[in-house]
Amino acid sequence: MSIEISALPLTWMTRRLGEIALEIQPGFASGDHNARGDGVIHVRPMNISRTGQLVFGEVKYVKDKSSRRLHEGDVVFNNTNSPALVGKTAVLLTEQEIAFSNHMTRVRVDQEVIDPRFLAAQLHGMWMNGYFEEICSNHVNQASVSTRRLADVKVVVPPLAEQQQVIGLLEETVSRLDLAVASLRMARAKADLLTASVLWSATGSLSGDSTTLGAAAKWFSGGTPRTGTPGYYGGEIPWAVIGDLTEGAVVTTAKTITPAGLKGSSAKVVEPGTVLLAMYGASIGRTGIASVRMATNQAIACAKVNPNEVRPEFLLRFLQAQKPAFVRAGQGGAQPNISQTIIKAWPFTLPSLAEQDEAVAMIDESLTRLSISIAGIDRAEHLAAAERRALFNSAFAGKLTTSWRRTHHG
């Protein structure tokens, strides 16, 4: 959100933040923290939401005797985060004892000149439009906006009474947007529950022989060619990692390997129709079916079935129905994971081929209808986000208060 000075109302000024701030001060680092409530709240990047609010659902406490605290009316700027998140901004509207980390910057202003709510909303609007991602300094795995760079940021400063009008109009409109987005997210959650219900009812209620996944398919996993070895990557063999799994047909992969890379590692080529299941991390239970010959890494369990006994598509849908249980089974370690030992011992009911085909057809029909609804919900959320950005752009260009200025300034 860049400022077009020529388009601003005549009564609006532009100023460097450093010219109107009484103080621009980062907080302090503390590795000694707890979640027990022992000490004072230590505000961190996670405590500023993407909608520009201070949130305290997850709080760290620190023991600190310094006077570096946030007070009512302080603007809190997230100075260090990922490039996409650096610059989130909020304002503290209540008086309580709160400290803040070195990844946060406290901006204290003369409230006779600028309303801190107006400044916080303006800086957060800049973040929504990618301004701080453009001006930040990039480091390994994170980005930052220094105190000096923040002080150089130009902001608009209308008359104080008009600032308060802008805030009032913004809050009213944003509240309606938030309600709409909350309704969309509830609809999306219901659609996700329906998806899980469809999968479970179609695969979990069938009769048949009681067996295990290990007996129903041949399970194995692949490997990763050594990175940095010349001639191992960039070949003609698709090489699937968890991120390539689509919950359906896997047609392409982000990376490829060469025959030398395949031979020099434990990566294995799978044939079309092989069912793929993620075993590690936050993606436990993600699935796919290989549509072409490809290799896989060690984080994917591969299931080769006899299609005259088990349809690959039915096994795929069964695994998808089991995802919540897989996630629970993978908890407890430093990194969540399920082993092939767990997978092979997993109970599995093997229906007739006719019942498998019927279940897959029913699931596909139901999920197609659901996917249309989900796509509509996602589009509506994107439109709401675009409307929010447009609203903030209008607010800080003076367009929300055009009528107000006519009434008060003639």
- pLDDT tens string, the chain, 410 residues long: the values are 555 555 899 999 999 999 999 999 999 998 888 888 889 999 999 999 999 999 998 999 999 888 889 999 999 999 999 999 999 999 999 888 899 999 999 999 999 999 999 999 999 999 999 999 999 999 888 999 999 999 999 999 999 999 999 999 999 999 999 999 999 999 989 998 898 899 988 887 788 889 999 999 999 999 999 998 889 999 999 999 999 999 999 999 999 999 999 999 999 999 999 999 999 988 999 999 999 999 999 999 999 999 999 999 999 999 999 999 999 998 766 678 899 999 999 999 999 999 999 999 999 999 999 999 999 999 999 999 999 999 999 999 999 999 999 888 76
Q: Edge to edge, what strands does the sheet with 61-62 contain?
A: 33-34, 61-62, 40-43, 98-100
DSSP 291: S
Residue 302: φ, ψ to 5°: -110, 135
Residue 310 tokens read as 């088990």
How confident is the model at residue 334, as a pLDDT?
Answer: 67
- The residues near 27 (Cβ < 8 Å, ≥ 6 apart) are 42, 43, 68, 99, 100, 101, 102, 103, 104, 105, 106
Each as own residue / partner, the long-range contacts of residues 360-365 (CB below 8 Å, 24 or more positions apart, any chain) are 360/311, 360/313, 360/314, 360/317, 362/202, 363/198, 363/199, 363/202, 363/203, 363/317
How confident is the model at residue 202, as a pLDDT?
Answer: 86
Residue 53 tokens read as 């609010």
Smallest Cα–Cα separation from 178: which of 362, 51, 278?
51
Q: Is the dihedral of CA 209, 210, 214, 215 positive or negative?
A: negative
Smallest Cα–Cα separation from 18: which of 150, 158, 119, 123?
150
Beta strands 233-240 and 294-296 are parallel
How confident is the model at residue 111, as a pLDDT?
Answer: 94
Distance CA 360, CA 289 (A): 14
Contact 312, 273 (CB under 8 A): yes
DSSP 132: H
Residue 269 tokens read as 């080529």
How many other C-beta atoms lie within 10 A of the C-beta of residue 40? 18
- DSSP, collapsed to helix, strand or coil, labels residue 22 as strand
| Cα 85 → chain centroid | 11
Place of tokens 């009316």: 73
